[in-house]
Amino acid sequence: MELSAAAFRFHRCSAPHFALNRYVATANPASLRNPRVPPIAPSAVRLDRRDPLLLTGERSRLFSSWLRESKEPAFSAIKAIRGETEPAGSLSGKIAVTSTVTILLAVLNRVLYKLALVPMKEYPFFLAQVTTFGYVAVYFFILYVRYSAGIVTKEMLALPKSQFVAIGFLEALGVASGMSAGAMLPGPAIPILSQTFLIWQLILSVLILGRKYSFIQVFGCLLVTAGVVIAVASGANNGEFLSQVELLWPALMVASSAFQAAASILKEFVFIDGAKRLWGKPPDIFVVNSFGSGFQALFVFLLLPFLSNIRGIPFAELSAYLRSGAACFLNVGGLTKGCEGAPLLPLLFIAMNMAFNVSLLNLVKMSSALVSSLAVTLAVPLSIYILSLPLPYIPEGARLNVHFVVGAAILVMGLVIYNLPQSADQNYKSD
């Protein structure tokens, strides 16, 4: 049933997540013949349940405005009106399946990235720019196809672009600060400091989305973070680890995680806010992916002179570097020694990375940014284990010590604790 500025009848809502005796509108075609239009004050009006009411013109606009401004998950009621609600068990099952697929894709993404760097070991900056700028064209092409098929609507494309500008700006800042810090930090410190991403997500989801987490959930997230740190640090040289590094660089890496965490929370906010604006229908994931990636590419382009210098490539030599990188990527020309495995391995990574990004954003849409991060975090020890095995183009394996096993066990225990059953109103997710 389509919602429009047609007829509605207000009923008191008994759902526990609606406060202050708010009302839910239900479609009532019979009321089209009723000329009376009541004032819109969802938290104050007291209406007879038998009284059919017409909501048109200014009343409809006021009701729409209230939906957008309300912090309550009002669009879930609209979805119920349209018959789009799903049983809790069905939704939980879909989230579990999507999480499993996302974890699998995250593992393959990490493994294929390592393999892609075998032929592209001299051109990692080129590969990063291919993924940044190439994805924009692919995402917008898919968006055009979905718009032509009627999946993406004009209303979705008309969502405020300021949100996507903020997402792109934060992600570009995350890239710039992460590259700056990564150039000065020892290798094992980078993935360890990056685990502050999960803690930032907890904090920012409370501040931006107004989420509330139980002690058990917070404890579970901290266990996950601790488990990853122990697993990743298992190969670090304790005698050199961060001992000779200025405090500025670890702080900048932590700030990079904060920027990226803020971008992920804003993506979740776009789905929530967009569903309110679109009467209960969340924006298509390719709307969020396309515009977010587009603005990120714009800001990265503006930062290219700075980013190339960080990577040791003077801006005057950038064009020559990109030409050499393209030749190695395609494995053509006379200067491709050491590029064996291209273009197959880089293309496999790009395809897998794109599939992973789409699956990850779909998981954010279905659950939350925090749940998606927890799923991806589980992929860290799994990918480390796979990369320790002999692989094509990487025949030498690695031996994992007991610290890795302990860290992986703590991580899994944290995930189990976070997902322990909670009361329905304590961790309500509306999308």
How much is the CA Rg of the chain, to the nearest whole Å? 25
Q: Show the tokens assigned to 328.
A: 């190695």
DSSP track, 40-85: --TTT----TT---B--HHHHHHHHHHHHH-SS-HHHHHHHHTT--
> Tens place of pLDDT for every residue, the chain, 431 residues?
334 333 333 333 333 333 333 333 333 333 333 333 334 434 333 333 333 333 444 544 554 454 444 444 434 444 444 445 556 567 788 899 999 999 999 999 999 999 999 999 999 999 999 999 999 999 999 999 999 999 999 999 999 999 999 999 999 999 999 988 887 887 667 888 888 899 999 999 999 999 999 999 999 999 999 998 888 876 555 444 555 678 888 899 999 999 999 999 999 999 999 999 998 888 999 999 999 999 999 999 999 999 999 888 999 999 999 999 999 999 887 667 889 899 999 999 999 999 999 999 999 999 999 999 999 999 988 998 898 888 888 887 777 888 888 988 999 999 989 988 765 444 444 43
DSSP track, 105-161: HHHHHHHHHHHHTTTTTT-HHHHHHHHHHHHHHHHHHHHHHHHHTTSS-HHHHTS-T
Which of 59, 195, 131, 190 lies closest to 349 in space, CA to CA? 131
DSSP track, 172-205: HHHHHHHHHHHTTS-TTHHHHHTTHHHHHHHHHH
Which residues are registered as beta bridge partners of 12? 23
Euclidean distance between CA atoms 205 and 267, whole angstroms = 11
The answer to whether 372 touches 205, Cβ cutoff 8 Å, is: no
Cα distances (angstroms) measured from residue 415 to each of 78, 153, 155, 218, 373: 33, 37, 38, 11, 11
263-306 pLDDT, tens digit each: 999 999 999 999 999 988 889 999 999 999 999 999 999 999 99
The helix/strand/coil state of 311 is coil
What amino acid is encoded at 108 in this protein? L
Euclidean distance between CA atoms 374 and 352, whole angstroms = 20
143-182 pLDDT, tens digit each: 999 999 999 999 999 999 999 999 999 999 999 999 888 8
The answer to whether 181 touches 250, Cβ cutoff 8 Å, is: yes
The answer to whether 262 touches 172, Cβ cutoff 8 Å, is: no
The answer to whether 81 touches 1, Cβ cutoff 8 Å, is: yes
The answer to whether 253 touches 187, Cβ cutoff 8 Å, is: no
Q: Which secondary structure element, helix H or strand E, spans residue 12, and what is its range?
A: strand 8-12
Strands 23-27 and 8-12: antiparallel
Euclidean distance between CA atoms 330 and 327, whole angstroms = 5
Euclidean distance between CA atoms 429 and 357, whole angstroms = 21
Which of 35, 39, 36, 1 lies closest to 23 in space, CA to CA? 39
Q: Show the tokens assigned to 190.
A: 């980078």
What amino acid is encoded at 186 in this protein? P
The answer to whether 402 touches 409, Cβ cutoff 8 Å, is: no
Long-range contacts of 58-63 (CB under 8 A, 24+ apart): 60/5, 61/5, 63/8, 63/25
